[in-house]
Chains A and B, each alone.
Chain A
Amino acid sequence: MEGLRFFFYHIRKNPLSVVGLTLIIIFAIIAIFAPLIAPTPEGQFDPYKIPRDGYSQPPKPPSAEHIFGTTEGQYDIFYGVIWGTRTAFKIGIVVMGAVLVIGIALGSIAGYFGGIVDEVIMRITDIFLAFPPLILAMAVTIALGPGITSVMLAIIVVSWPSYARVIRGDILSIREEDYIEASRSVGSSHLRVILRHVLPNSIYPVFIMASLDIGAVVLTAAALSFLGLGLPTGYADWGQMINFARNWIVGTQNNTFAYWHAVMIPGLFIFFFVMGWNLLGDSLRDILDPRLARR
């Protein structure tokens, strides 16, 4: 509780982080009220499928019926970006949650026990970190077949090792503290020492920083679906909507920007979403990590 008050005190002091937090709150509201903002059409079973108005190829400009217009294949852009916000949060939260669980579990085992256990776990992280992340994520997505679960798993696979390493490093430094030895000497079990003493002193900063990496996770997911991997066609997702628009950037003979909306609108949603997390993360990093707070 004390930590939370500290957190909000510092956020209020920095105007950029206020902008970041505001952006995130706006997106959260859009995601929560998606069914009210963009109601799913009667008779459609899956709300994440973007409704189509016909099947002709060229995007149509904004109109009363489709306030953000339609993209290639007459998918409704407004519906897509609103429900795409839900997709973004879903991917970001699930991936980051899983990455933290795996990272904390393996990182604290490696750091606390040291020796051969540490060596083995760290060599495994080396292997996963040996690939450019997007390339490994592409390969994993394809191996697992299409679907949102594959995308999430792929990003988890490429993200967990760096967290395991950071947490291990923090725990290594804490393990040497006197209070750990004190706790061991009065007979606490390893599990108790890890859960009650080591983790609370090392992971909260990592925890908060990691949650702010949600922006980066969403960016990777968007890149995958921009490349046409993972999410099924027509799934409400920002990356895919930009993929729909890629063939229409040149416009028509008379108006080169005829289809600007199909590219710009989903792109702005990604841009502001990621920027929100980055703005908040940037100032928080300075607050939480005094080593980085360089005056």
Chain B
Amino acid sequence: MDFRSYLIRRLILVIPVLFGVSILIFVLMQQFPPYQRAMLYVTDPRQMANIEDIIALYNLDAPIWEQYIIWLGQVFQGNLGWSQVVGMSVTDAILNFLPATLELAIFATPLIIFGGIWLGTKAAAHKDRFIDQATRAGAIMGWSLPTFWLGLILLMVFYGYFGGLLPPERLSTEMNILVHSASFNRYTGLNFLDGILNWEWRVTWDSLRHLVLPVITLSVVNIAFIMRLMRSSMLESLGKGYILTARAKGLSEKVVINKHARRNAMIPVLTVSGYLFAAIVNGVVITESIFNYKGLGWWAWQTATALDISSILGFALFSGVLFVLTNLVVDLLYARFDPRVRLGGSV
């Protein structure tokens, strides 16, 4: 099978999964009585006074399949309902909170990937010596750490003990006012970047200071994961014949490890990038809730505890679709760039 037919087959396979995702969300929705479900159709707060009308308008007492089609129609029009907790529509809320979460992910993702690869390579290159034992012990500990506990301890030390050195939330009150003032243009919604673009270095500095702890909290567990993966993959590739050849022709150990072994050992890290995406979304909810960092995860947490069902189901749908598409892109890239991947057979 060539790449083009693989691409087509893969695209077709995504469709039933996306439908399945919507059906699963719809089934969860059915656990709630009609007056609660009505929130998934509201587009304006004034409508909430007439919930009965909404139930009638969208046939919320109708047979299930009929309701599903009406609901799906709404979803395709971009109407995911009203988020009561933040007082805007679910779609607006997602767009509004996305930049904050992106800001977190922009710093955490490279740290996780490069940190994990670097540590894993170091450990494998010094197998069974001190640095290997230390990183492995660290990885097992990091892997067992409850993220939420780690975040609280970091806050206890760096916010409590060091007198507000690395504070929670996204910006200090003063900078928050500045960011929302008329003279400050919010080009991207990413505070550190907008700070640079507006030539307001105080905003960038303040934003970075607020990002340190959440980024560490989000990264530790996942660095441990990538490191373990990288270590075993490196060990396997160091045992290959071409490594022996490379050493035999007198290449320095540095070149052998960094060029010959590591490049091949990084493939498994690419294959888990889909998993990594899910792990980061999971981590974002916990991290943002600890640091009161107002992004998507914080919003999901607030709405979940307040039983704001349109928001949490909307968020689940959004993250599910995004995850499916991420996996699709990863698979395609993988098939495109690794000539060894056999394109035949079932996916």
Contact = CB atoms under 8 A, between A and B. Distances in A.
B153 A226 contact: no
A135 B140 contact: no
Interface in A213-257: 215, 219, 222-223, 226-229, 239, 242, 245-246, 249-251, 256-257
B286 A130 contact: no
A270 B156 contact: no
A210 B282 CA distance: 21
B278 interface: yes
Contacts of A246: 152, 290
A133 B155 CA distance: 26
Given A123-B16, A294-B235, A132 B304 contact: no
A136 B321 CA distance: 12
Given A127-B24, A130-B17, A138-B300, A270 B149 contact: yes
Contacts of A282: 140
A223 B305 contact: no
B40 interface: no
A143 B140 CA distance: 34
B309 A135 contact: no
Contacts of A126: 17, 20
A275 interface: yes
Given A135-B281, A229-B305, A251-B160, A263 B146 contact: no
Contact of B143 (A223, A242, A257, A278): A278
A271 B161 contact: no
B301 interface: yes
Contacts of B324: 130
Given A127-B24, A131-B323, A136-B316, A222 B146 contact: yes
Contacts of A131: 21, 24, 278, 316, 319-320, 323
A267 B141 CA distance: 13
A182 interface: no
B301 A227 contact: yes
Nearest to A279: B140
Interface of A: 16, 123-124, 126-128, 130-136, 138-140, 142-144, 215, 219, 222-223, 226-229, 239, 242, 245-246, 249-251, 256-257, 260, 263-264, 267, 270-271, 274-275, 278-279, 282, 292, 294-295
CB-based closest 8 A-B pairs: A127-B20, A267-B149, A275-B144, A134-B282, A143-B31, A132-B281, A132-B278, A274-B144
Interface of B: 16-17, 20-21, 23-25, 28-29, 31-32, 140-141, 143-149, 152-153, 155-156, 159-161, 232, 235-236, 239, 277-279, 281-282, 285-286, 289-290, 300-301, 304-305, 307, 309, 312-313, 315-316, 319-320, 323-324
